[in-house]
Amino acid sequence: MTDLKIAIIVGSTRPGRNGKAVADWVVSRAAARTGADYEPVDLADYPLPHLDEAIPPSMGQYEDEHTKAWAAKITEFDGYVFVTPEYNHSTSGVLKNAIDYLYREWNNKAAAFVSYGSLGGARAKEHLRAVASELQLAHVRQQLSFSLFTDFEDFSVFKPGEQHSAAATVLFDQLESWALALKTVRVRDRVVM
């Protein structure tokens, strides 16, 4: 087993959310992988108020305990699978807020995106790609998109089509490759400093 650790971040805290079921499916597909250890990280377990740090996150001088706890958790990982709903043509506010809390903790790591919504969450992923780029968070090409019309029964019971399993394998392969490569960049940067 490799020492790569990848978080599967549940990007919704809304009561009745579909994100937990989608993330659980991703976790179940990752369980048999040997290239990395995958761990679910539920934003519901990290109740962050709207960004309330006085100093910009890029400075890394966190004052609040909730920020320090969130930073410590995110630091543990070499990569991330962001599971996001699409709300109003974007990602959820709670996920964007959680991402905005930190900066260096995201740098030179890898990310993949899993989304769901009426159009498969496509616009949420595109917004997250721009945010990830600003954070020096390399994002892989492969993505997973789940439609509320075809992958959910009554818009609430997650029943994904079988075709998603093959796409998930490609997503994990790309993410693990990039996470491993970027780990060497982070090690090199620590040696140089």
What tens digit of pLDDT does each residue of 26-75 get?
Answer: 999 999 999 999 999 999 999 999 999 999 999 999 999 999 999 999 99
- Please tell me the predicted confidence (pLDDT) of residue 187: 78
- Please tell me the predicted confidence (pLDDT) of residue 188: 73
Return the DSSP state at 103. S
Q: Are 101 and 57 in contact, with CB atoms under 8 Å apart? A: yes
- Please tell me the predicted confidence (pLDDT) of residue 191: 57
- Please tell me the predicted confidence (pLDDT) of residue 38: 98
Residue carrying structure tokens 């090690």: 187
Q: Are strands 5-10 and 79-85 parallel, antiparallel or unpaired?
A: parallel
d(CA 96, CA 18): 18
What are the residue ranges spanned by the domains of the chain? 5-192
For 22-168, strand residue ranges (E) read: 37-42, 79-85, 109-117, 137-147, 152-153, 157-158
Return the DSSP state at 54. S
Domain 5-192, CATH among 3.40.50.2000, 3.40.50.360, 1.10.3720.10, 3.40.50.1980: 3.40.50.360
When pLDDT is averaged across residues 114-129 and rounded to a whole number, the result is: 96
When pLDDT is averaged across residues 106-126 and rounded to a whole number, the result is: 96
- Please tell me the predicted confidence (pLDDT) of residue 176: 98
By residue count, the chain amounts to: 193
pLDDT above 60 for 143: yes
| Nearest one of 87, 129, 92, 110 to 171, comparing CA atoms | 110
Average pLDDT, the chain: 95
Lowest mean pLDDT among 4-8, 56-60, 187-191: 187-191
Binned at pLDDT 50, 70 and 90, residue 190 comes out as low
Give how far Cα 179 sits from Cα of 12, 18, 120, 154, 182, Å.
24, 27, 25, 37, 5
Q: Strand, coil or helix: what is 152?
A: strand
